[in-house]
Structure 1
């Protein structure tokens, strides 16, 4: 090898090293692409669960109102679009631009759709739980507080989408701190309020009927688990954004929409198992000859059992199936 060839090779290697060093300096070390891939893999696994739960819902609850079915369909479509755009971006980055360092420093328009879709699906799910809080409690102010936080998060999602579309590099994301706060923090606050409010109001109806207590415990456990999981994910996202230069926080935005969708779908699909638990608990309380009469009396006299039906079935047909004579006008609002 001649001295000129060697010098040229060294120069080429030096230029490539300089380009890589420049990219690392902009994006941060270590590179976050592996973390992004892990986040995308987890989100796709969760999307598979969403597909299964959506299929299960439409097969298990054909009697639900068309509005509730449209709501579930809308949640599924928004979540599908979230996965679609994320996959579009990672394919553009890792396949179409393999070996090209420049796109690794630049924000892509498909990635900019992520905060918009997340800012949409979060309020959709939170609005559903706000309605549940209103049905159970009969008061509007807690639901209004939840919806206010949700609308703030939706506006923050639109602003974050605009920022991601107008910014050029990942390094510039640090300049939109206020936007990120208004996007993720109100959503986390709303999730915590939902978990605390539903737990509080459901616990008010415990201790009156042994069979319904077990069902209420199951609902409370699921509510706290789902609400705190989404809130914790949003808080971790915010903490990473403010404390780590490398944009690891983006990976959590891939997962958060899936957690929201799974939250509401698991709640709707759990009605089948809750019905079975209610039947089993009532059967244990009565012999076959007196089962119907005692079940009716238990539902009429114990508000807690009514809460289970109201929250988890959403249909007056379910109450009629148990022979419930609803004397509360508000129970008529449970039909979606």
Structure 2
């Protein structure tokens, strides 16, 4: 593959990713709007969590858009710019960790409310903490070594972060489905 093909594939994937992320962000904004409009009587901690999520998600999306602007407009025709360090893409990793931590912490809280047991939510909260610290560490390493070296030598690091994220997500989803089914049917199986 030639250098220009590589740049097109990289920029194409980046642009599609940013557009999909923006679409998902808009859905999140609608959900938050409907949540605030419905005026639930949730505790202050839950209301603060929803507000934090909106701030983190907005900042995350802005970082992506700033990065895509920098690459495609500000440095148009300079493919070497894809290999440089950019604060916006690095910060988007940090905000991704904060976002998933907020969302999964909320679901872990719901598991605790439904089950009345602490073991599963505590394990999930520890997983959220590990993922958040891992995202910050990955962002620092990415910024220090640059994208080319990070992609070549640090492949396992983001894979482990994603594995922790998926594990917490699967545990939360499975236990929520189990306890909601148990409440609906009244069965203990």
Tell me the TM-score normalised to structure 2 length: 0.88
Distance change >3 Å, CA 98–CA 28, structure 1 → 2: closer
State the Cα deviation string for residues 171-218 of structure 1 (Å, max 9, x = none): 53231133213321101000000111112222223335xxxxxxxxxx
Is contact 2:46–2:106 with CA below 8 Å preserved after alignment?
no
Of 41, 48, 55 in structure 1, the residue corresponding to residue 33 of structure 2 is 55
Is contact 2:141–2:150 with CA below 8 Å preserved after alignment?
no
Of 102, 107, 111 in structure 2, the residue corresponding to residue 133 of structure 1 is 111
Q: Residue 206 of structure 1 corresponds to which residue in structure 2?
A: 184
Whole-Å Cα distance in 2 between the matches of residues 188 and 76 of structure 1?
A: 22
State how 1:25-36 maps to structure 2 within 5 Å: 28=6, 31-36=9-14
State how 1:81-96 maps to structure 2 within 5 Å: 81-96=59-74
Tell me the TM-score normalised to structure 1 length: 0.51
- The answer to whether the aligner puts 1:168 opposite 2:146 as a matched pair is yes
Whole-Å Cα distance in 2 between the matches of residues 114 and 138 of structure 1?
A: 35
Is contact 1:153–1:183 with CA below 8 Å preserved after alignment?
yes
Is contact 2:53–2:99 with CA below 8 Å preserved after alignment?
yes
Aligned CA RMSD, in angstroms, stands at 2.3
Is contact 1:119–1:153 with CA below 8 Å preserved after alignment?
yes
Distance change >3 Å, CA 66–CA 138, structure 1 → 2: closer
Whole-Å Cα distance in 2 between the matches of residues 78 and 133 of structure 1?
A: 23
Q: How many pairs are equivalent?
A: 187
Whole-Å Cα distance in 2 between the matches of residues 163 and 44 of structure 1?
A: 26
Is contact 2:7–2:79 with CA below 8 Å preserved after alignment?
no
What stretches of structure 2 of length at least 5 have no aligned partner? none
Of structures 1 and 2, the one scoring higher in RCO (CA 8 A, sep 6+) is: 1
What stretches of structure 1 of length at least 5 have no aligned partner? 1-19, 209-336
Is contact 1:155–1:183 with CA below 8 Å preserved after alignment?
no
Moved more, 86-95 or 138-147: 138-147
- TM-aligned CA deviation for residue 105 of structure 1: 2.5
State how 1:44-123 maps to structure 2 within 5 Å: 44-61=22-39, 63-123=41-101
- TM-aligned CA deviation for residue 30 of structure 1: 6.4
Is contact 2:100–2:128 with CA below 8 Å preserved after alignment?
yes
Name the SS for the 2:184 alignment partner: coil
State how 1:226-237 maps to structure 2 within 5 Å: none
